[in-house]
Structure 1
Amino acid sequence: MHRSVLAPAALAALSLLVGSVPAASAVGAPSSSEAPEVVVVLDSSGSMAEADAGGGQTRMDAAKQAVTELARSTPEGTRLGLRTYGDGVDSEAPGSCEDTTLRVPVGPVDADAVAAEVADLAPRGDTPIGTALLAAAEDFTGDAAQTVVLVSDGEPTCDPDPCPVAADLAARGIDLRIDVVGFRVDAEAREVLQCVADAGGGTYVDAADAAELSAALDTSALRGFRVYRPEGTPVEGALEATGAPLVEEGQYLDEIRSDEPRYYTVEVPRGWTVRAGATITRGDDPQRRGVRGMLVTSVLAPGEEPQCASSIDFPDNARGSAPLSGGVLSGPDALRVQAPETCLAGGPLLVRVEWTGTDQPVALPMELVISLEPPVRGSEGLGEAGDRTTVFPEPPAVPDPVAVDGGPSFNDATELRPGAWSDSMRRGETVYYRVRVGWGQQLALRVDFPRQPPDSALRDSLRAGTYANVLVFDENRLPAFPEGTRSKRYTEFRDGEAQDMYITTHAVTWANRRELDLYAVRNVSRAGDYLVMLSLDGDSSSVEDEGLAIPFTLGVDLLGEAEQGPQYVTDGAAVPASDPAAPSPAASEEAATAPSTGASPEAVATADDVAPASGRALPAVVVVLVGLAVLLVAVLAALVLWGLRRRAGPDGPADPGP
Structure 2
Amino acid sequence: MSRSGGGLAAGAAALCALLLPLSGTEAMASPRMSDAPGGAASYEPADGAVPVTGTESSADGPELERAKTYSDTIGPGQKKYYRVRLDDTSNAFISTVVAPPPGTRSGILDGIQISLTSANGTPCSSNPSVYFGGDTTRPLAGYASRRIQGDSSQCQEAGDYLYTVSWAGSRTTGTAKWPIELTYMAEPGLKPGADEPEAPTGWSSKAPSPSSGTPQKVSGGTGFNDAAAIGDGTWRDDLEPGDSRFYRVPVAWGQQLFLRAQLANTTSDSSAFAVNGLRLALYNTARGLVADKSTGYRGAPAGTDLGTAPAAYANRFTTGAEAESAMRFQGWYYVQVTLDPKVSGSVPMTLNVGLQGEAQPGPPYDGDPAAAGFGLDGAGPGGGGADPTMRTIGFAGIGAGTVLVLGLGAWQLASRRRRPAEDGDADTDVAYSR
TM over 0.5: yes
Match of residue 297 from structure 2:
493
Measured in 2, the distance between the counterparts of 1:443 and 1:449 equals 20
Deviation at 1:76, TM superposition (A): 7.8
Measured in 1, the distance between the counterparts of 2:178 and 2:29 equals 30
- Name the CA shift for 1:8/1:425 in 2 (closer, same or farther; >3 Å): closer
The code of the aligned residue for 2:304 comes to M
- Name the CA shift for 1:254/1:316 in 2 (closer, same or farther; >3 Å): closer
TM-superposition CA deviations, 1:246-301 (whole Å, max 9, x none): 111121111112332222211111121100111111112x4455674243222211
* Counterpart pick for 2:270 among 444, 451, 461: 461
Contact 1:315 1:325 in 2 (8 A): no
Match of residue 387 from structure 2:
none
The CA RMSD measured in Å over matched residues stands at 3.3
Measured in 2, the distance between the counterparts of 1:461 and 1:399 equals 32
- Name the CA shift for 1:391/1:146 in 2 (closer, same or farther; >3 Å): closer
- Name the CA shift for 1:411/1:290 in 2 (closer, same or farther; >3 Å): farther
For residues 530-545 of structure 1, the aligned pairs below 5 Å read 530-539=333-342, 545=344
State whether structure 2 residue 194 is matched by structure 1 residue 347: no
Deviation at 1:325, TM superposition (A): 1.6
Match of residue 358 from structure 2:
561
Measured in 1, the distance between the counterparts of 2:149 and 2:200 equals 12
Measured in 2, the distance between the counterparts of 1:352 and 1:533 equals 25
SS of structure 2 residue aligned to 1:568: coil
SS of structure 2 residue aligned to 1:343: coil
Deviation at 1:321, TM superposition (A): 3.5
Deviation at 1:416, TM superposition (A): 0.5
Contact 1:491 1:498 in 2 (8 A): no
Contact 1:333 1:513 in 2 (8 A): no
Contact 1:234 1:252 in 2 (8 A): yes
Deviation at 1:563, TM superposition (A): 1.0
Match of residue 218 from structure 2:
404
SS of structure 2 residue aligned to 1:407: coil
Match of residue 476 from structure 1:
286
For residues 66-465 of structure 1, the aligned pairs below 5 Å read 219=38, 222-223=39-40, 226-231=41-46, 232-249=49-66, 250-284=68-102, 286-288=103-105, 292-303=109-120, 305-315=121-131, 318-333=134-149, 341=153, 343-359=155-171, 361=174, 362-377=176-191, 378-379=193-194, 382-384=197-199, 392-394=205-207, 396-400=209-213, 401-450=215-264, 453=265, 457-458=267-268, 460-465=269-274
Deviation at 1:504, TM superposition (A): 0.9
The code of the aligned residue for 2:171 comes to D
Measured in 1, the distance between the counterparts of 2:302 and 2:200 equals 31
The code of the aligned residue for 1:301 comes to S
- Name the CA shift for 1:238/1:375 in 2 (closer, same or farther; >3 Å): same
State whether structure 2 residue 313 is matched by structure 1 residue 510: yes
Match of residue 100 from structure 1:
none
Measured in 1, the distance between the counterparts of 2:258 and 2:125 equals 29
Contact 1:492 1:498 in 2 (8 A): no
- Name the CA shift for 1:385/1:234 in 2 (closer, same or farther; >3 Å): farther
For residues 594-609 of structure 1, the aligned pairs below 5 Å read none
* Counterpart pick for 1:522 among 308, 318, 325: 325
TM-superposition CA deviations, 1:457-501 (whole Å, max 9, x none): 34x4354226100000113321112x7xxxxx211124x324321
Contact 1:385 1:514 in 2 (8 A): no
Contact 1:290 1:320 in 2 (8 A): no
Measured in 2, the distance between the counterparts of 1:409 and 1:490 equals 19
Larger deviation, residues 391-400 vs 238-247: 391-400
Match of residue 414 from structure 2:
none
The structure with more strand, counted as a fraction of residues: 2
Aligned length: 341
- Name the CA shift for 1:516/1:332 in 2 (closer, same or farther; >3 Å): farther
Match of residue 393 from structure 2:
none
Q: Greater relative contact order (Cα 8 A, min sep 6): structure 1 or 2?
A: 2
For structure 1, which runs of at least 5 residues remain unmatched after alignment? 1-6, 14-19, 21-74, 80-144, 148-176, 178-201, 204-218, 484-488, 572-658
- Name the CA shift for 1:8/1:397 in 2 (closer, same or farther; >3 Å): closer
Percent sequence identity is 25
The code of the aligned residue for 2:91 comes to T
Measured in 2, the distance between the counterparts of 1:529 and 1:342 equals 30
The code of the aligned residue for 1:398 comes to S
Measured in 2, the distance between the counterparts of 1:505 and 1:342 equals 30
Structure 2 length-normalised TM:
0.70
The structure having more radius of gyration, on CA atoms, is: 1
